[in-house]
Structure 1
């Protein structure tokens, strides 16, 4: 029996048919990925299933008593709430009990008169067997990097809001979970933890994601939205790829057959005298049906990425002994590297380790504390930033492209007008005159990428390029980047994207940068081998009485506890994290109040430093909390 049944669902958006009379069901325990091109209506469908939007026609039915939780692409909270209030703002009685427990736990020393109520709440936790869940709550918050529950929601960044919204959805303990791009703004350890968590969770799941490794490990069915219709595949993502190719081959064969028949029928139609037309009406009707079938499209037009490519000189970028620190925090020091033509490297490391700072030094936005950055004369950098570029919502798509150029030279010698280039990049003639404000998030990101590639850079920096792009666009982008002749730097949490494209990594952390030869999977395997070798290493023998040490022979590894020094560091970190958040809040209030250009620039730089410090301290807090 299905936990969710959808029948004949239809939705039109801005005179554009997203999906038409689609029907499907999801059973108990099924974990389903929803995929499709940007703009096909994936997020809209999730909103309808979550009850946020309504359909034009059809119905959505959940099994009675089903608890549904939903993670949208752009979560909205009460700006006056704290993180705790946002997390536990729910009609779920279990969360209400735990929310009150967490609150009382913090204030009981200052308000001893609440002692009786504290005992009552603890009794409720006992009677509902919630202590295990309380431990899960702490684990979920810790893994997602949520530590300061008193932090105001209005001071959170977009990525922090996403993590709070994801934690809230998981804490609901739903029967049916709806996730729209759950891996966006998560670092690699958090993605791997979420992957394992959802794989083992006893719930039904429907999610939109571009992360192919994540999809392969978590889901057991794929639904594809294409040309207003829905196609289902019972199996993993790799199974879907195989079966989709078979379906398209079969469809193409049927269309080709219909075209051959249509040619014969067309010849017959042309030879018929007008006076005899009524005598073969059935055949004329059949001809019209045949014409419709022969005109069907199989699949969607592939996006084509081609640029002319600027020549790279002998000197590209030479980094000599660069160092950068903020206060007491050393990001990296005395790092040297000379970029070579065709370099394809990835940047990995925890948040706050210095990746963004490194890119800013490379592009000249900030200067290193020591060392030099020597740039070649022919260098043309194209920088695709993680933050979505803000376009005028009242401009039309073609106007945005014409701001860069009206005619663009291509690698194969052709020249394309702005309109033809948009066609090759997946924007139909009608879409080119659509207002930018009506585009989906993924379509805006595709437009942002197109504008950067139009400038023909020979040194590409892609900061989280996979966020909000559909898998078809990612496949084409990957094909383009594989043959890209310039230098390429990728910062991404998409493991598949990194594995396919990069040949070495800059690994940030512990105050330095390590150049690792290999992709992300190579790095993970190397880390696992190092950990295995370290745990398998024999314990050092006592110097005085090696024979009287039978305990060493017992292969039991006990979890290490915090040392006294680490305990003090742990307590200090909690205070420092809270203090930095307060400083951020004051700074954000200043920026919102306004100021002159110099003040805003200074405050912006100060905010960046605080964010770097906060990320580092939160990562260290997480390491120590696992021991605690």
Structure 2
């Protein structure tokens, strides 16, 4: 086994009260792609900052290989002293690093490099910070929520970039699909301690549940053992005093272990407060348009939203998702067309920028609107500290200013307030930002089981697949022109429908070329072409599945070889060749799958 290039062992850190980290560890080797998971407030970002050398624990061992380069993605990058984004990104380069890589990264991240750092939006600042840490191709990349504020095309590009990267990775992210596609190992931070699974995030949740079940069984056995010892002490035959004292001491130890055991951090328990049922028709938009100057945000677009619909809006940043959302909910007026809202609507909104928060306000004051110590939830008076507990806030935090909360805690607080209010139309703009996996699970259950109507904007593919009944996306996602299309189902369903439409278009184009190239076809020839597949098409349809399976097997073997932690240090050239081969294989696999899909749809059309 190769020696680690970064190792944290028995890390202890407390800010008073329960320790944040109590024996946590992290080990990184060449080629590792580790996702660091745990509840909000479990210490993930703190452990990563310790790994980067930006924070110091109160005790524990830290080893960083002296020749290894480390880059850390800051949540709030410091642009002080930089006139342009390109200058900021180039400042991350080391001696011998390629300056053209900065240009390449900025281009793919949607930046020119000439932007003034002080004028950047949150998403643009995150892209600039990514360019700075990715450009040097360091030995270790520490990325804390790299996908926050990124749109879907950029997230998918970043996935490919990280999979091809030679850097060892440690990732914190709420985006399940991103973690599944990138990670090969998982470190779970729970109750101050860390556990490692040498498999990617796709296997984490089943493993976590097994660990917790085994822990619960162990506590049950310990409780039974304590009962037996207590029975012996009270009713057992008196033996030598020394023996009795030994068993009494063991009983005290067992009791201490049983009392000191802390179960897993609680789960959020909540449901949306019910409002009166809205009318069957919630929103009706007829040929609405919106433009700012010469830029068309919404071309004529029509939709009917009925009670119970759950609609997702997706698209690249700047396509106009938030504008379309505001049009549909009547917050802004269209340039032309009409919007009609249904009856009895009670709207609750989670704002993308969290602008609603007054940072000087306390948690209790925010939840109760300053009306004492109680709030009304589903017609029942609840004490604010009891309601806070359902969202994993401690009673002593009731008087805490909101500015002292982490980003995830602020998102959870806004969720708590929204769900306390009666609503039958939920508007969620980027609701998954900063939420941990468990709170995301809860939000998914709330949205999927909500009796009213939901309209949400999200870049989280997994969240969309699990919640929405239809998806609205730009007709041309690469260069949005204001045209929007509604697809049935979630994100994956939308992509499948787009691939089908693309296949239909290709078939149509091929058919048109064939007709134009044949000046005088015989009457039987068109019927023959339409009536069956050619020999070449049949052969491809039968053999492509075998070729696809063979290519998938090659990809697996290639990934297994690249997962060898010693390969990069032993033979970097071979590692680079394997990375290039893997990229070629994946491209070929996509091409073969699209060809098979096109042929299969043609076969179904002929036979149908």
TM-score by length of 2: 0.78
Inter-partner Cα distance in structure 1 for 2:430 and 2:517: 56
Over 3 Å counting, the alpha-carbon distance change for 1:394 and 1:404 in structure 2 is closer
Deviation at 1:260, TM superposition (A): 1.7
Deviation at 1:179, TM superposition (A): 0.2
Residue 596 of structure 1 corresponds to which residue in structure 2? none
SS of the counterpart of 2:110? coil
SS of the counterpart of 2:513? coil
Equivalent position to 1:249, from 206, 213, 224? 213
Residue 482 of structure 2 corresponds to which residue in structure 1? 511
Structure 1 unaligned runs (5+)? 99-133, 548-554, 556-628
Residue 107 of structure 1 corresponds to which residue in structure 2? none
Residue 74 of structure 1 corresponds to which residue in structure 2? 76
Deviation at 1:466, TM superposition (A): 1.0
Inter-partner Cα distance in structure 1 for 2:411 and 2:500: 38
Over 3 Å counting, the alpha-carbon distance change for 1:277 and 1:528 in structure 2 is farther
Residue 308 of structure 1 corresponds to which residue in structure 2? 273
Deviation at 1:526, TM superposition (A): 2.4
Inter-partner Cα distance in structure 2 for 1:221 and 1:462: 32
Inter-partner Cα distance in structure 1 for 2:415 and 2:355: 10
Q: Is 1:498 matched up with 2:464?
A: yes
Residue pair 1:346, 1:489 contacting (<8 A) in 2 also: yes
Inter-partner Cα distance in structure 2 for 1:143 and 1:24: 32
Q: Is 1:317 matched up with 2:283?
A: yes
Deviation at 1:389, TM superposition (A): 4.0
SS of the counterpart of 2:19? strand
Per-residue CA shift, 1:247-304, capped at 9, x if unaligned?
Answer: 111111110111122233344556799xx99873322322222123333233222111
Residue 111 of structure 2 corresponds to which residue in structure 1? 146
Deviation at 1:194, TM superposition (A): 0.8
SS of the counterpart of 2:330? coil
Equivalent position to 2:493, from 510, 522, 529? 522
Deviation at 1:336, TM superposition (A): 2.6
Residue pair 1:8, 1:58 contacting (<8 A) in 2 also: yes
Over 3 Å counting, the alpha-carbon distance change for 1:543 and 1:355 in structure 2 is closer
SS of the counterpart of 2:37? strand
Deviation at 1:527, TM superposition (A): 2.4
Q: Is 1:182 matched up with 2:140?
A: no
SS of the counterpart of 1:357? helix
Inter-partner Cα distance in structure 1 for 2:35 and 2:410: 22
Q: Once superposed, what is the RMSD of the aligned Cα atoms?
A: 2.7
Q: Is 1:156 matched up with 2:124?
A: no
Over 3 Å counting, the alpha-carbon distance change for 1:535 and 1:21 in structure 2 is same
Residue 46 of structure 2 corresponds to which residue in structure 1? 44
Residue pair 1:404, 1:451 contacting (<8 A) in 2 also: no
Equivalent position to 1:293, from 257, 262, 266? 257
Over 3 Å counting, the alpha-carbon distance change for 1:453 and 1:389 in structure 2 is farther
Per-residue CA shift, 1:392-425, capped at 9, x if unaligned?
Answer: 54544233222276444555x7543211111111
Deviation at 1:162, TM superposition (A): 0.6
Inter-partner Cα distance in structure 2 for 1:546 and 1:60: 77
Per-residue CA shift, 1:326-357, capped at 9, x if unaligned?
Answer: 11222223323232111101001222222111
Residue 348 of structure 2 corresponds to which residue in structure 1? 382
Higher mean C-alpha displacement, 389-398 vs 313-322: 389-398
Q: Is 1:489 matched up with 2:460?
A: no
Over 3 Å counting, the alpha-carbon distance change for 1:258 and 1:355 in structure 2 is same
Inter-partner Cα distance in structure 1 for 2:72 and 2:446: 35
Inter-partner Cα distance in structure 2 for 1:338 and 1:535: 31
Higher mean C-alpha displacement, 386-395 vs 487-496: 386-395
SS of the counterpart of 1:93? coil
Over 3 Å counting, the alpha-carbon distance change for 1:532 and 1:318 in structure 2 is closer
Higher mean C-alpha displacement, 483-492 vs 315-324: 315-324
TM-score by length of 1: 0.75
Deviation at 1:431, TM superposition (A): 3.6
